[in-house]
Amino acid sequence: MKNKEIIKILRLTASLLELYGENQFKVRSYQTAVYNLERTSVELSGLDSSDLAKLPGVGKSIAATIQELNQSGSSSTLDNLLKQTPIGIQELLKIKGLAARKIKTAWDELGIESAEELLRAAQRGILADLPGFGAKTQENILQVITFHLSSRDLFHYKDGHLTGIWLEEKLAEKFPEIRLNRTGSFRRKAEVLRRMEYLWATENIRKATEYLDGMEELSKNIALSGPLRWRGEIANGSLNLDIRFCKPTEFGSKLLYYTGNIAHLHQSNNSGKQLSELLNQPYKLEDEIYKDFGWPAIIPELREGLFEKEFLLDGKQDEIITPDQIRGILHNHSTYSDGKNSLLEMAESCKELGYEYFGISDHSQTAVYANGLDQDRLNQQLQEIDQLNKKLAPFKIFKGIESDILNDGSLDYPASVLQALDFVVASIHSNLNMDIEQATKRLIRAIENPYTTILGHPTGRQLLKREGYPIDYEKVIEACAENAVVIEINAHPWRLDLDWRWVSKAVEKGIMISINPDAHEVAGLQDVQYGINVARKAGLPTKMTFNAMSVNELEQYLIKRSKQQLANNSN
């Protein structure tokens, strides 16, 4: 069993133990194990009970549970807890922002056993009267449940993308000449998806559907399927699959239509004709349609009906950032804070990916939950970087920190510490329950700090988990422009923050954008691709992409900025 699955089971076990009033020592032992195992790079399936018990925060009891999972694929402790827990309660326990003890109170006092029932209770105002609740807790639950229900059937693009690669390879093995393409928001690389959509051109639809019907990993929804459409689910039902069929002679026109979106298809050319009008006739290739329309082919990411026409008229599409133009990656973590891999392992992996530089920005001292660096440990890291830069040259590790933005908007270290760094990513991680005025004021003060180089994940959102705190985008963007602060597109597939819809506004103000993976392990370095996806949706030009600079260009930029900081501080 993979680490991720083991940790998921231990986390659920902890929540259920807390739900049923198990002693806090036992609950805390599971929570501690989860915390530590999330930060280990050791493969748990390869260890026996004695080795597992030696891991930080594990111990004999939880080691035995992990061993049971590795041997049988299940946990008797969890199975017994699940038997007495309604499915709806299990769902509630997985929702970020709902405490197990609150769920238990609502279950005991009001008989609430589902998210829908909890929502109705909050809307009726009867939660506030429960022991330990109150009006504020009720309002918070209302917001959390509303958000959860609105995103319940969605999944992250990364999950669809990786599963899609598997499916495409599987189908290509059986049908070597297959003409299969992603469509809809899946092809447009939206941040979250409702389904994985495909178009399959074939002369033998029956053979194609029979093969799909026979795949063990797929479950067909007969009621929603038809002669020209196969609909169902992949794996455990968490991902919806929708495959349309067409003739090879009409593949281009059907592909353009089903990629959409509708607003893009309603775009008009100089003659006043809409793109959709060309789809009444069959085309084998998409590019032929755009050619007849008088436009160059529009990249799928841009087809949102927002500003693709502007890119055509100004010839900007060729200037949009591509994966091969990223020269290095910033905002990454190591075992110095809450990462799974050492600084050397992260840097060497970055180098192997073909990058020229790596920016380390472990968590700052206030972030005790993430093993933030006090000044002594930060100095130790800076010394190691000096040694590694000699070893890895001409590859370079840039010295950074992800400084928490404190409640008053100040950064986490004094100037004497910050001035020893090459760059500072300033981010909010705590006290997220702010109104728009509080959040905007807090961000702007951090932006005005002369040591802030990059504003990290500006809204703090976690897609499908929690909404970001509200901010006045225009004021924040204006402050970044005035203070020459770079704005991050955090490429972690659960963040993708700054939202791509605001990237063009920032670029218009002359603000550079840094596409950062926020990697906490070697595998996370490759998440930069998801940030590139949304950057391309925004039409981000290469020249405005911070980490499209070469190592020498970035080094000179940071040196110049450091001199300006010193000059400003001396005045």
**pLDDT for the residue numbered 309:** 84
pLDDT tens column, 340-349: 999 999 999 9
The percentage of residues in the chain with a pLDDT greater than 70, rounded to a whole number, is 99
Query: What mean pLDDT, rounded, does the chain reach?
Result: 94
CATH superfamily of 155-306: Beta Polymerase, domain 2 (3.30.460.10)
What integer is the mean pLDDT of 212-233?
96
Q: Inform me whether the pLDDT recorded for 522 exceeds 70.
A: yes
What integer is the mean pLDDT of 61-87?
92
pLDDT tens column, 150-163: 888 899 999 999 99
For residue 503, give the nearest of 490, 492, 482, 489 by alpha carbon.
Answer: 489
pLDDT band at 21 (very low <50, low <70, confident <90, very high): confident
Among 96-105, 510-519, 547-556, the range scoring the smallest mean pLDDT is 96-105
CATH architecture type of domain 323-570: Alpha-Beta Barrel (3.20)
Distance of alpha carbon 559 from alpha carbon 245, whole angstroms: 57
Q: Inform me whether the pLDDT recorded for 235 exceeds 80.
A: no
Q: Inform me whether the pLDDT recorded for 231 exceeds 70.
A: yes
pLDDT band at 569 (very low <50, low <70, confident <90, very high): low
Distance of alpha carbon 82 from alpha carbon 511, whole angstroms: 51
The percentage of residues in the chain with a pLDDT greater than 90, rounded to a whole number, is 85
CATH top class, domain 1-85:
mainly alpha
pLDDT tens column, 190-213: 999 999 999 999 999 999 999 999
Among 307-316, 443-452, 480-489, the range scoring the smallest mean pLDDT is 307-316
Strand (E) or helix (H) holding 562: helix 551-570
pLDDT band at 568 (very low <50, low <70, confident <90, very high): low
pLDDT tens column, 112-141: 999 999 999 999 999 999 999 999 999 999
Distance of alpha carbon 348 from alpha carbon 392, whole angstroms: 8
Cα distances (angstroms) measured from residue 140 to each of 37, 129, 230: 30, 14, 40
CA dihedral 368, 369, 370, 371 (to 10 degrees): 40
DSSP string, 390-437: HHHTTSEEEEEEEEE--TTS--SS-HHHHTTSSEEEEE--S-----HH
Cβ atoms of 133 and 113 within 8 Å: the answer is no
What integer is the mean pLDDT of 479-507?
97
Distance of alpha carbon 232 from alpha carbon 465, whole angstroms: 25
**pLDDT for the residue numbered 376:** 96
pLDDT band at 369 (very low <50, low <70, confident <90, very high): confident
**pLDDT for the residue numbered 543:** 97
Q: Inform me whether the pLDDT recorded for 215 exceeds 80.
A: yes
Q: Inform me whether the pLDDT recorded for 385 exceeds 80.
A: yes
pLDDT band at 237 (very low <50, low <70, confident <90, very high): low
Backbone angles phi, psi at 198, to 5 degrees: -140, 155
Please report, for the chain, the start and end positions of each structural domain, with discontinuous segments joined by +.
1-85, 97-152, 155-306, 323-570
pLDDT tens column, 31-46: 999 988 988 888 898 8
**pLDDT for the residue numbered 329:** 97
